[in-house]
Amino acid sequence: MQMLPKLAKALMNKDFRARLESATSDQEVVDLVNEHVSLDEPAPAGTAGTADAATAPITEAPGSAAPTDDAPASLTLVGVTSCPTGIAHTYMAAEALENAAREAGYTMTVETQGSAGLTKLTPEQIAAADAVIFAHDVEVRERDRFAGKPLVDVGVKKAISDGPALIDEAAALAAEWKADPSRAAAAATATLTGSGMATKVDESAGWGTRIRQILMTGVSYMIPFVAAGGILIALGFMVAQFAGGKSGAIDVTKNFTLDPTSTAQGVTILQNSFNPANGMHWAALLFLIGAAAFGFLVPILSGFIAFAIADRPGLVPGIVGGAVAVTMHAGFIGGIVTGFLGGFLAKWISGWAVPKGVRGVMPVVVIPLLSTLLTVGLFITVLGRPIKGISDGLTHWLNGMSGTSALVLGAILGAMMGFDLGGPVNKVAYTFATTGLAAAGTATNAPS
């Protein structure tokens, strides 16, 4: 997992890209990549306290990083980057910002909140910073650490495509704040009162942007389930091919179960008769665990869409609504609908003016009870059947694709992914492909 983020950062280096493009042999490419991309050495015991300093590009001591009136090169910036997957864009944005700051004569340290782990900025680094840049598509963790600092807050794509402009904006903002110290106190108050939400949903943005951010919050929490479940299912199919021959991948989906009440002819209840010497049993073990992980995809998607709208009160109606959508075979479209419905209902109920004596039970009883009842009740009685029809129609259309049609769909999705490199069009294609995988992976006839 370390290699992909490091390679993404290396590709932001102009010299590395130029040398890579001019390489004339496979070995030259391998040597070049090995030169720039390598796994971190394990830190010796007792050196954890110095890990931050080892990875930070700041060369001045914290005491010497204070801004001066006539030396723009003394500006010290810090930043945080994050994206829904936490793999590529997080590190590409960090590299782009660090390069732009270096070219402008400033020093900058970026905290990457990605899949390769998190090395936090130290309190000293944050205190010495003249301005902060957030480039993120999911919420920055512990953002209250940066309270009272000039802040440039943008999406991760902006940092990749226009890093120098963000550096200039941060420098200008730092100068403005230095001229008006009262802005720091006001910003500190605003940051501390608004730091509870764990999603990047900009309340001041247009509805189109907010809907995209809400959707991507749900997708970002669903991705670990996609990864774990998908890899386990694939490993199960691979083992089944070796142990069961050409039909092994199909047999492993039909002939094994974890349901202790199953009486189906020829179906093995795995936990009751697991044989370590039987390869098909190992294949079934991998497949069933992966299928269990995939079973959470729609509820998690729905739950965290609702969470992005209403914070914690949205989790119960979102997750329960997503589970009901799966039960009704409404697919990921049903999960998206229950997520939005549950989130907005929970947010609405949270805003009710209630007697003081009732306030204590609102978040633990009233809000989850009423929002879940309304969300799931509306879905079962009104919304579920038409959404199931839409989901079935989409599934039949995708299953009916072959030859040229499948190539056209692949070309369209590929073009959308590359169109704006992390922007809205990219996210639409990404969400479609990911949730389509969820629908396919949970289908009982997926292998066939």
253-309 pLDDT per residue, tens: 889 999 999 888 889 999 999 999 999 999 999 999 999 998 898 999 999 999 989
pLDDT at 197 over 60: no
Comparing 24-33, 249-258, 317-326, 358-367, the range with the smallest average pLDDT is: 24-33
Give the pLDDT band of residue 201 (cuts 50, 70, 90). low
Residue 274 lies in a domain: yes
pLDDT at site 37: 72
pLDDT at site 220: 82
Residue 205 lies in a domain: no
Mean pLDDT of the chain: 79
Number of separate domains in the chain: 4
My answer on whether 23 and 60 are in the same domain is no
My answer on whether 318 and 279 are in the same domain is no
pLDDT at 374 over 90: yes
My answer on whether 188 and 262 are in the same domain is no
Residue 446 lies in a domain: no
Residue 115 lies in a domain: yes
Domain boundary among 270, 294, 318: 294
Residue 163 is a catalytic residue: no
My answer on whether 85 and 104 are in the same domain is yes
DSSP 160-223: HH-HHHHHHHHHHHHHHHHH-THHHHHHHHHHHHT----S---TTS-HHHHHHHHHHHHHHHHH
Residues 236, 246 contacting (CB under 8 angstroms): no
Residue 200 lies in a domain: no
My answer on whether 57 and 156 are in the same domain is yes
- Nearest CA-CA partner of 129 in 70, 178, 185, 180: 178
What is the arithmetic mean of pLDDT over 314-335? 92
Between 51 and 316, residue with greater pLDDT: 316
My answer on whether 169 and 262 are in the same domain is no
Which one of the listed residues 83, 108, 160, 297 is annotated catalytic?
A: 83
- Which residue blocks in 260-330 are alpha helix, DSSP H? 270-273, 279-294, 297-310, 315-327
Structural domain harbouring 362: 302-441
pLDDT at 445 over 60: no
For residue 205, CA distances in Å to 155, 201, 209, 210, 443 come to 12, 8, 6, 6, 37
pLDDT at site 250: 86
Domain at 152, CATH number: 3.40.50.2300
Kind and range of the H or E run holding 225: helix 207-244
My answer on whether 437 and 308 are in the same domain is yes
Residue 144 lies in a domain: yes
